[in-house]
Amino acid sequence: MTAAALPSHPVAATVARVREEVRAVARTPVWSMPPAELGEVLVAVTRLAAQVAQLQLRLLAQAERSGVGQDVGATSAANWVAVQTRTTRPAMHRAARLARQLDDAHADVDTALADGLINLDQAHVIVDAVDALPTDLVAADTISNAQAFLLREARDHDAKALRILGRRLLEVLDPAAADAEEARRLEHEEAEARAASSFTMADDGHGRCHGRFTVPSMHGSMLRKALEALANPTRHPDRHPDRREVLTRRRLGHAFMEYVSPAATTPSPPRVAAPRPSWSPWTWSP
């Protein structure tokens, strides 16, 4: 590369230099490295990957603001980069979303990623967990404390464990707000379930009726409990001599019929034949 072709911006020059240096050792044998040094370098390279990811996100955020790719008809910088690098568009848009989040309100997470203290997956989890907090129920300092808490826990937990911790943030930092948010979430779920409730049935013309239904979980649980009680083999030992039999679809079907029309499915008491008289008018003789 000639002097005239060298990038002018420090970031561009650094990226070009690092790429050249990494390329220079790409084929260097590593079998002679002592295990201790090999482990140290492996950890360092992993942290370097996090730092490179942070730089990529920062560049991507600026590319979105600057309209990179618009001159060739790209609808966004993320789409343009996806085409140029043969990256899937969903993956690049996910990166662009994280870039905006770090640029807008997560400077501490951005700094930790730039220093290689956390990896990209951890950054995604921390940002999503903090952004999911209900801002109308918790104070700003609680949100800041939540982010600091997850950054501390990231030293000892991977992204999967952090995601679990992130779901319980409010319970740790603000139990009262956690209870209010849980109540609101349950109310919202119940309202959505009621809105989605449906029932359909049709007769097939051969003496059978088929149907489907969608009801809230609470009502479904109530129906199952009622049917299982009716299907209990101890209620009809003559029908189900083996009490260890599991609840089959057939038994639940019979229970549903009994649930809908108890009088029609309840077995009638057995008829007892009247005793035959010892005499008959046809055989009687004086």
Whether 165 and 217 map to the same domain: the answer is no
Asked if the structure places residue 173 within a domain, the reply is: yes
- Alpha-helical (H) ranges within 72-174 are 77-85, 89-105, 107-114, 120-131, 140-153, 159-167, 169-173
How far, in Å, CA of 11 to CA of 153, rounded? Answer: 31
Asked if the structure places residue 147 within a domain, the reply is: yes
Q: What is the mean pLDDT of residues 117-138?
A: 90
Portion of the chain with pLDDT greater than 90, in percent: 47
**Three-class SS state of 203:** strand
Asked if the structure places residue 271 within a domain, the reply is: no
Whether 234 and 162 map to the same domain: the answer is no
Whether 187 and 148 map to the same domain: the answer is yes
Asked if the structure places residue 25 within a domain, the reply is: no
Is pLDDT of 201 > 70?
yes
Q: What is the mean pLDDT of residues 215-222?
A: 86
Is pLDDT of 125 > 50?
yes
Tell me the β-bridge partners of 210. 202
Whether 139 and 174 map to the same domain: the answer is yes
Tell me the β-bridge partners of 203. 209
The least confident of 20-34, 78-92, 173-187 is: 173-187
Is pLDDT of 168 > 70?
yes
pLDDT of residue 126: 95
Whether 225 and 155 map to the same domain: the answer is no
Q: What is the mean pLDDT of residues 91-102?
A: 95
pLDDT of residue 197: 87
Whether 36 and 165 map to the same domain: the answer is yes
**Do residues 18 and 10 touch, judged by C-beta distance below 8 A?**
no
208-211-215 Cα angle (round to 5): 150
pLDDT of residue 39: 95
pLDDT of residue 113: 96
How far, in Å, CA of 62 to CA of 71, rounded? Answer: 16
Whether 112 and 144 map to the same domain: the answer is yes
Tokens standing for residue 256: 């549903």
Burial, 198: exposed, middle or buried (Cβ in 10 Å; 0-12, 13-18, 19+)?
exposed
Give the domain-ending residue among 196, 219, 248: 196
Could you give phi then psi for residue 121, rounded to 5 degrees? -65, -40
- 249 Cβ neighbours under 8 A, 6+ residues apart: none
Tokens standing for residue 164: 């679990």
Distances (CA, A) of 131 to 34, 162, 203: 44, 14, 50
pLDDT of residue 280: 47
Place of tokens 């870039």: 99
Whether 188 and 257 map to the same domain: the answer is no
- What average pLDDT does the chain have? 83
Whether 220 and 183 map to the same domain: the answer is no
Domain total of the chain: 2
Q: What is the mean pLDDT of residues 44-59?
A: 96
Answer left, alpha or beta for residue 132, where phi above 0 means left and psi between -120 and 50 means alpha: alpha
Q: What is the mean pLDDT of residues 251-257?
A: 83
Whether 186 and 55 map to the same domain: the answer is yes
**Do residues 151 and 109 touch, judged by C-beta distance below 8 A?**
yes
Q: Domain range holding 227? A: 198-203+210-265
Is pLDDT of 89 > 90?
yes
Give the domain-ending residue among 145, 165, 196: 196
Asked if the structure places residue 1 within a domain, the reply is: no
**Do residues 78 and 87 touch, judged by C-beta distance below 8 A?**
no
pLDDT of residue 110: 96
Q: What is the mean pLDDT of residues 218-222?
A: 86
pLDDT bin (cut points 50, 70, 90) of residue 286 is very low
Whether 160 and 233 map to the same domain: the answer is no
Asked if the structure places residue 285 within a domain, the reply is: no
Give the domain-ending residue among 164, 196, 228: 196
Is pLDDT of 274 > 90?
no
The least confident of 36-45, 122-131, 251-260 is: 251-260
Asked if the structure places residue 13 within a domain, the reply is: no
Asked if the structure places residue 150 within a domain, the reply is: yes
Is pLDDT of 177 > 70?
no
Q: What is the pLDDT of residues 4-50, one digit of tens each?
A: 566 678 999 999 999 999 999 999 999 999 999 999 999 999 999 99
Q: What is the mean pLDDT of residues 216-226?
A: 86
pLDDT of residue 285: 47
**Do residues 81 and 93 touch, judged by C-beta distance below 8 A?**
no
Q: What is the DSSP letter of 163?
A: H
Highest mean pLDDT among 42-56, 180-194, 208-222, 229-243: 42-56
**Helix/strand/coil percentages in the chain, nearest 5:** 65, 5, 35
Whether 156 and 219 map to the same domain: the answer is no
Is pLDDT of 73 > 70?
yes
How far, in Å, CA of 165 to CA of 171, rounded? Answer: 10
